[in-house]
Structure 1
Amino acid sequence: MREQLQELLEKRVQQCVSQKNRSSTHFCPKIELKKEGLAKRSGEIIKAKSIGNIISVDHGQEEKSSVQYNVHFKYLVKHKDMLFLEEQIEERRAEFYKGILIEDHEINRYAEPKEDTELKIEKEDSEERIVYEYNRLRAVQYAERWWNSYNPAYETFEVNCTNYISQCLHAGGGPMRGYPNRGAGWWMMNKNWSYSWSVANSMRIHLPRASIGLRAKEVTSPEELMLGDVICYDFQGDGRFDHTTIVTAKDANGMPLVNAHTTNSRMRYWAYEDSTAYTPNIKYKFFTIVDDQ
């Protein structure tokens, strides 16, 4: 099984830099979407590398086996006169019958049932004032340090994207407030947390509505975002947001490159058009963090 998976990964790496893929029996739509998106922006993948790691093997009945594994992809991207390294961790499952690979697919955590949580609208004291300065460099440094690992000082979730972004914002100076009311403020402490800290839809509601503590201003386009700002994603376009990322760099066109968890990623193009969770109905919210300085 290991040898077959390794061969599959080698073919996907070859597809990243090859100009003729569609006739291949190992054609990967996700890689082709990434390449097409880069080509539209005058970019290309000039080198790719993958490292696989088997997590578990389930030997089922009737000579069937299921393997869950992770793949660390590294893409050296040339965008106009700029070079950068994009990285992504794919969580995948392969199915075998009599030792022969018959199916392989990426696991889409956003296709699973969504947690039924809502942010309660709080009554804020207009006289309360929390002065803070948002240090964008520190937020980005934290995002880079922990993009593919988990800070043991915090709880970790299966869908960890918003928790990771909250940690980045806190590292940048965003002040926690509201404990112990889960529907108030933005916080994580004593093995508990607010909805706005850990749930993508609740963070999307909280950031522009907050008038004290951590808050943000919604802008209309990704070009307006700075390093350390936040993008929220509604993959299905149903009004309930699923995912959150943080801006950690800009490409040669001044468009955001982002880091994220759940599908751990760094320096990924903001639009997520190559994501397994992407649909044509996707909607975005762009938030720039504000402070008292």
Structure 2
Amino acid sequence: MKKQLKAKLEERSEQFVQKRKIDDEKIIKKQKSLRKRKAEIVKVMATGRIISREQMDDQDLIYYNVHLKYFIHQGGHFYLEEEVEMRKASYFKGAIFEDVEVPVIYPEATEDRIIKKEHSKDHRASFYYDRLNAVRYAERWWNSYNPAYKKFDVDCTNYISQCLHAGGAPMRGYPNRSKGWWHQNRNWSYSWAVANSLKSHLQTSTAGLKAREVKDPMQLKLGDVICYDFQGDGRFDHNTIVTGKDAAGMPLVNAHTYNSRMRYWAYEDSSAYTPNIKYKMFTIIDDA
């Protein structure tokens, strides 16, 4: 069974760089996105790790992670993009008959609140946003979890908040979960861990962690934040942090949930992507 899984990983790696007709929607999306950027995958490396196994009569279900590394060439430059897929392989009488990516289910966050613009007197001392430290933290923890914080099943916003705090963004609002942006005593504000709430906080905050919305992704700097509404229904599902730029000056981002590093910002190759996707892009404002 492990030999079959290894062979499947090798086949999947080859498909990303080959130009023959393929049926995997994600690979098709990634190749299309790369062509638009005048980039190409030179090499792909894939390693797998089995997470769990279920047995039902003659059928085995294997849940496993695939760590993909894409060596990308664009405009005379090379860079390494990484992501971790969660996949499910179904075996029947020892043979694979299905191998699919497990989609992320972004929850309807019942604890989310619409955050009205705050006119807070809770002003903190001026702070300098250390973008390099934020990126260092994003790189250190992109595919693991800092035990100092709670790990969420949908962990994207928690991870981005940790990166922002590592860059020096000050917490405020404790213990009111609907106020400010904070994590303390194994508790947290909605804006710390809920994607839509962080987006709302960045739009409205006038103290502590503040941001300015921009329309052009090329205006974003390292340590800035991009928010994603995959369905285009007004509720934002996902957040990423800018950790690099490609050869054209466009942002590359790190993220959690489906852990990724140096991924192209538009997420056109994501299984969550839809033609209705909307983005909000924020550059962090400090007091320097």
TM-score (norm 2): 0.96
CA distance in 1, matches of 2:61, 2:257: 21
Runs of 4+ with deviation above 6 angstroms: none
Give the counterpart of 1:273 among 268, 273, 278: 268
- SS state at 1:37 partner: helix
Unaligned runs of 5+ in 1: none
The residue that corresponds to 1:229 in the other structure is 224
- Give 1:103 shift: 1.1
Q: Which amino acid aligns with 1:14?
A: E
For 2:109, the equivalent position in structure 1 comes to 115
Structure 2 CA distance for partners of 1:127 and 1:113, relative to 1, 3 Å: closer
Residues in 2 aligned to 1:189 and 1:104: alpha-carbon distance in whole angstroms: 41
Alignment of 1:202-281 (within 5 A): 202-281=197-276
- Residues 141-160 of structure 1: matches in 2 within 5 Å? 141-160=136-155
Once residues 159 and 123 of structure 1 are traced to their aligned partners in structure 2, the CA distance between those partners, rounded to angstroms, is 27
State the identity %: 57
Is 1:85–2:85 an aligned residue pair?
Answer: no
In the TM superposition, residue 243 of structure 1 has moved relative to its aligned partner by 0.3
Task: Tell me the number of residue pairs that the alignment of Structure 1 and Structure 2 aligns.
Answer: 287
For residues 207-251 of structure 1, give each alpha carbon's deviation from its aligned partner in whole angstroms, at most 9, with x where no partner exists.
120000001000112111001000000011110000000000000
Match of 1:54 in 2: 50
Larger mean CA deviation between 120-129 and 239-248 belongs to 120-129
Following the alignment from structure 1 to structure 2, what is the Cα–Cα distance between the partners of residues 223 and 275?
21
Q: Answer whether contact 2:45 2:69 (CA < 8 A) is retained.
A: yes
Deviation per CA, 1:44-99: give whole Å up to 9, x if none. 00011000011111001x31111100000000000111100000000111112222
User: Could you tell me how far 1:122 is from its partner in structure 2?
Assistant: 6.8
- Cα separation, 1, equivalents of 2:28 and 2:163: 31
| Structure 2 portions without partners, runs of 5+ | none
Q: For the Cα contact (< 8 Å) 1:82–1:252, is it kept in 2?
A: yes
Q: What is the TM-score normalised by the length of structure 1?
A: 0.95
User: SS of the counterpart of 2:99?
Assistant: strand
CA separation in 2, counterparts of 1:123 and 1:256? 30
2:183: which partner in 1? Answer: 188
1:19, CA displacement in angstroms? 1.8
Change (3 A) 1:254 1:123: closer
